């Protein structure tokens, strides 16, 4: 076996430039695939983390009849005395924070323009508001006793040409099916760098939201963040005695989970296509080597080298090209992924709904993706040697000695 690899290394060295560029083609293909895998994994990971932090939490506790899609404000669909339930949940050792939130539909009107928004009543002192508090662009965060202040996202402020301190009119659907309208002051403008979320969500203190929506002492949900999301099952088991429905982060992000699964299937096909294209370079290199060494193959056959041994020699050459190409691919891909992980790629607001995409895509390369792509590249390169190896093994010694004529 060692002798075969020595011969393969010598044969590849006969045309070093061709061998180098063949390996480089494989390396570039692998580097591209590593970057693609890292970008897809990073965006799915970022979207899921954003959804958990901003929208779903790890768990949500709701009334059994509550329908999130309808944003129901009927009292029978809401949680009564939410502060008590939130305190009970927060006392569990696995829970990082539990806070009540009230959701309502509304319209922000400023001058001659108006935009539909989702109104979220929050407890301003809760740690769950860290993404919005830390993302303050201008102004200040509303306080619990503020009765006319609201917090709006930067994209919405830019769209309506609003600044902190400006007054706007807010129309809100109420629990009895009516619409209430009141003036509010923009206390502050926030940015979570998630345009799809920031342009459509308005925050106000929970007490004020309950008053304007006529949902006094009620909340839509208890928003729960855990110390470890894998502990969701233990928390659910501890809360099952109550008359509530409990939604996990997986259930509330089904679209994202399904999108990730579909993306994985499509990306596998793309991986095979890219590697197949690079494999053609390897095939071409080995076929040229077969025709250049026709007389040599004939001599080897004439002195007793079997066809299987000749095939093994070309597979050895292919494996050496694969090792060289994979090494270059890991280096180049590592540099590209490192850049994408540190700085990302700016995509702005794509207008995608249903998934919370950030303004920038950051890469996240997993060990599993690295190993699977490396193995896939190696196997495809070996398969690329099959036809040239068969071509060499099936040569008749007499014809090969005469140059294949």
Q: Please tell me the predicted confidence (pLDDT) of residue 339.
A: 94
DSSP 157-212: HHHTT--TT-EEEEEEE-TTS-EEEEEEEEEEEE--S-HHHHTTEEEEEHHHHHHH
Q: How many domains does the chain have?
A: 2
Q: What is the pLDDT of residues 36-84, one digit of tens each?
A: 999 988 888 888 888 999 999 999 999 988 888 788 888 889 999 999 9
The verdict on residue 250 lying in a domain is no
Q: What was the pLDDT predicted at 367?
A: 92
Residues 260 and 369 reside in one and the same domain:
yes
pLDDT digits (tens, 9 = 90+) for 309-357: 778 887 888 888 899 999 999 999 999 999 999 988 887 766 555 667 7
Residue 127 and residue 117: Cα distance in Å, rounded? Answer: 23
Q: Does one domain contain both 296 and 151?
A: no
Q: From 400, 404, 405, select the one nearest 297 (Cα to Cα).
A: 400
- The answer to whether position 187 is within a domain reads yes
SS3 397: helix
Give the domain range for residue 234: 64-243
**pLDDT, tens only, 232-263:** 888 888 887 678 899 998 888 888 877 777 77
The answer as to whether 59 is a domain residue is no
This prediction's pTM: 0.78
From 147-151, 207-211, 281-285, 351-355, the region with the lowest mean pLDDT? 351-355
Same domain, 73 and 41: no
Q: Is the same domain home to 347 and 211?
A: no
> Which residues are within 8 A (CB) of 90 and not within 5 positions of it... i.e. 6 or more apart?
97, 98
Of 193-207, 258-272, 360-374, which gets the smallest average pLDDT?
258-272
Question: pLDDT at residue 391 above 80?
Answer: no
Q: Return the bridge partners of 61, or none.
A: 222, 246
- How far apart are alpha carbons 57 and 68 in whole angstroms? 14
Residue 176 predicted with pLDDT over 80: yes
Listed residues 243, 275, 310: the one ending a domain: 243
Of 243, 266, 295, the domain-final residue: 243
């Amino acid at each position: 076996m060692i002798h075969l690899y020595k011969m393969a290394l010598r044969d590849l060295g006969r045309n070093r430039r061709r061998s180098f560029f063949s390996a480089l083609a494989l390396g570039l293909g692998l580097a591209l695939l590593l970057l693609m895998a890292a970008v897809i994994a990073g965006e799915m990971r970022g979207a899921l983390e954003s959804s958990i932090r901003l929208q779903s939490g790890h768990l949500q506790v709701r009334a059994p009849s509550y329908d999130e899609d309808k944003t129901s404000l009927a009292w029978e669909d809401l949680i009564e005395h939410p502060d008590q339930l939130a305190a009970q949940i927060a006392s569990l050792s696995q829970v990082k924070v539990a806070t009540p939130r009230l959701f309502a539909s509304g319209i922000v009107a400023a001058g001659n323009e108006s935009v539909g928004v989702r109104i979220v009543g929050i407890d301003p002192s809760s740690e769950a508001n860290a993404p919005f508090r830390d993302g303050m662009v201008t102004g200040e965060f509303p306080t619990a006793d503020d009765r006319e202040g609201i917090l709006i996202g930067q994209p919405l402020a830019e769209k309506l040409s609003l600044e902190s301190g400006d007054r706007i009119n807010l129309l809100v659907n109420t629990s009895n099916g009516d619409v209430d309208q009141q003036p509010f002051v923009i206390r502050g403008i926030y940015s979570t760098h998630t345009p799809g979320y920031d342009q459509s969500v308005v925050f106000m203190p929970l007490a004020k939201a309950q008053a304007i929506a006529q949902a006094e002492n009620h909340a839509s949900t208890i928003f729960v963040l855990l110390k470890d999301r894998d502990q969701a099952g233990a928390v659910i088991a501890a809360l099952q005695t109550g008359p509530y429905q409990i939604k996990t982060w997986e259930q509330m992000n089904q679209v994202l989970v399904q999108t990730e699964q579909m993306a994985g299937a499509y990306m596998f096909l793309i991986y095979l296509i890219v590697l197949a294209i690079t494999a053609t370079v390897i095939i071409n290199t080995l076929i040229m080597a077969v025709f250049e060494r026709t007389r040599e193959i004939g001599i080897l056959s004439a002195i007793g080298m079997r066809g299987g041994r000749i095939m093994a020699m070309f597979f050895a050459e292919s494996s050496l090209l694969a090792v060289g190409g994979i090494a270059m691919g890991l280096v180049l891909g590592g540099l590209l992924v490192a850049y994408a992980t540190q700085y990302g790629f700016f995509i702005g607001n794509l207008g995608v709904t249903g998934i919370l995409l950030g303004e920038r895509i950051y890469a996240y390369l997993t060990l599993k993706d690295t190993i699977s792509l490396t193995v896939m590249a190696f196997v495809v390169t070996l398969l690329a040697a099959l036809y040239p190896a068969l071509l060499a093994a099936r040569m008749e010694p007499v014809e090969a000695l005469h140059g294949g004529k």
